[in-house]
Amino acid sequence: MQLELKQPINKQIIAQRKWYLKHPNYINRVSKRGQPYLHLIVSEIEKRGLPLELALLPIVESAFDPFAYSHGRASGMWQIIPGTGTRFGLAQNWWYDGRRDVYASTNAALDYLEYLHKYFKGDWLHAIAAYNSGEGRVGRAIKKNRKAGKPTNFWSLKLPKETKDYVPRLLALAQILKDPQQFDITWPNIANEAKLILVDTKSQIDLAFAAKLADMELNELHRLNPGFNRWATDPNGSHQLLLPLDKAGQFSTALSKTKASDRVSWVRYKIKNGDNLGVIAKRHQTTVAVIQDVNDINSSSIRAGKFLLIPVSTKDLSAYKLSAQSRLAKKQSQPRKGSKRTHIVKSGDNFWDIGRKYQVNHKSIAKWNGMAPKDTLRLGQKLVIWTKLAGAKTSGN
């Protein structure tokens, strides 16, 4: 890998380098996880003429885990927070989260890094630090040093410990990968040609159906397309799927022989007394907006005895092991210390108060439920709580 950033040797970088060299299995594990995506990422970086070291940022950010979610609400391999995602054009809704979309998030992250590079007048270390902690914080640190007559280079700034470690961590990785033999580290070669390609299905498609057309395992396809939260692509788009190059031709040929209406399954649902669109949508793992659109309904009112046409998954929902629902269920079922309780969110609830009630850290509750402490709780939402509090009962019933 031809690298471009200046590689100083200082105690901060040496400390981070020592950590990586003490954990060769970590580098091996991360390199294997990132292997499918590296050519795509490097190609986009080269296309823009950016430093190739930026291709290593997903290691520092998420260990190349496209499903990573942090306590600060950052998501995806590039760990993009909601506001930054919106700012750089990434859709985030019930069906789809562009922050986890490998191709879309890579371009958004590089857009942001280019913006930061320009904002900090060509200083890449300032830009990389700001990617971690925000341009405002880095800008204020620079201004403070300048006012005090101190140097304004990255190494002289007063920044949070996470950010002070972040930049040397990236540079340490770059030094190791520049000469892996010197450090007795094995790093896979980046393919000279594309291994993945984007294919536009032009309409909503069930991921299980797409996997069948491509002759792939469902999990394999979903891992390449982690932006999709549910069993299908977003009915309103994007309908792009990232596929292995050797599967794309077969997929496109098979897809051309299907109609858009065949790409998801349908049920004819008879409305019962007491039903409402929200309940029906939740039961069928879809949204009110989709049901309204499919059935040409302009309001939320429905009548018992009438029928609704509803798109549904071709397989049992448990088969979609990388959907948001399945990943949450897996996280909530992990055994931890204490007694397991279920808390049903009531009006006015927040993580802090719930934590006090069960005498557990509010950040732990968020983590156990695949959330961040600042995420909004929904009325009726079920939270799994592990408490050592004697006699604690399930709350909210």
Residues of the chain with CATH 3.10.350.10: 265-312, 334-387
Please tell me the number of Cα atoms within 13 Å of 325 on its side-chain side: 15
Cβ-based neighbour number of residue 396 at 10 Å:
13
Digit-by-digit pLDDT tens for the chain (397 residues) are 455 777 778 999 999 999 999 998 999 899 889 999 999 999 999 999 999 999 999 999 999 999 999 988 999 999 999 999 999 999 999 899 999 999 999 999 999 999 999 999 999 999 999 999 999 999 999 999 999 999 999 999 999 999 999 999 999 999 998 888 888 888 777 777 889 999 999 999 999 999 999 999 999 999 999 999 999 999 888 899 999 999 999 999 999 999 998 999 999 999 999 999 999 998 988 889 889 988 888 888 899 999 999 999 989 989 999 999 899 999 999 989 989 999 999 999 999 999 999 999 999 999 999 999 999 999 889 999 999 887 655 555 4
Superfamily of chain region 265-312? LysM domain (3.10.350.10)
- CA–CA distance, 242 with 104 (Å, rounded to integer): 11
Residues of the chain with CATH 1.10.530.10: 11-178
61 is catalytic: yes
Query: Which of 4, 44, 46, 61 is labelled catalytic?
Result: 61
CATH pick for 11-178 out of 1.20.5.440, 3.30.70.260, 3.20.20.70, 1.10.530.10: 1.10.530.10
Could you please state the CATH topology (level 3) that the domain comprising 334-387 is classified under. Answer: Membrane-bound Lytic Murein Transglycosylase D; Chain A (3.10.350)
Number of H helices, E strands in the chain: 16, 6
> Are 98 and 104 within 8 A, CB to CB?
yes
Give the list of residues 6+ apart from residue 119 with CB closer than 8 angstroms, or none.
127, 130, 135, 139
pLDDT score at 397: 46
What is the enclosing helix (H) or strand (E) of 138? helix 135-147
Residue where the block lists tokens 């049903």: 344
- CA–CA distance, 131 with 103 (Å, rounded to integer): 18
pLDDT score at 67: 95
